[in-house]
Amino acid sequence: MAWHCNGVTNQEMVTKLKETGILATARAEAAMLAVDRARYCHEADPYLDRPRKIGYNVTISAPHMHAYALSILSDQLFDGARALDVGSGSGYLSACMAFMVGPRGRVIGIEHIPELIEVSTRNVREDCPHFLKDGRLKFIGKIIGTNA
């Protein structure tokens, strides 16, 4: 099951998610291969199938959760689609969505922790900078309880 989807590399992790049937569509598989989890999870062993701390009392979900979400949303994340990722955290799922919607699509990642907006933007800039440059991915946020 999910705990058997650990990998040493991004490709190995994705292959195991596919072999178990958790990663159920070719488009979701392509997205997870294109977006390297290690760029969004900076702890040791980023390809273990478990949640990992990303700071600010927040975790990045386990890879099998991302695989389920992307597989289920594959038909909605078509070329040119628009998507909103609420609680975008590290930016990983937003980046996978941006891959799936293509250069004509748009993904907005919304996050209430300002530092994570900076972290996610930096993560994407290091992994898939063209997502930010071509405007298909943007992170936004507002501090809750203020007028900022």
Does an H or E element contain 54, and which? Answer: strand 52-55
Is 61 designated active site?
yes
- Rg over alpha carbons for the chain, rounded to the nearest Å, is 15
User: Quick one: residue 57, left, alpha or beta (phi over 0 = left, psi -120 to 50 = alpha)?
Assistant: left
Query: Is the C-alpha dihedral spanning 93, 99, 103, 104 positive or negative?
Result: negative
H helices of the chain, in order, are 10-19, 26-34, 63-73, 92-101, 114-127, 129-133
Single out the catalytic residue among 61, 71, 88, 120: 61
Cα–Cα nearest to 36, from 92, 74, 117, 84:
92
**Catalytic residue IDs:** 61
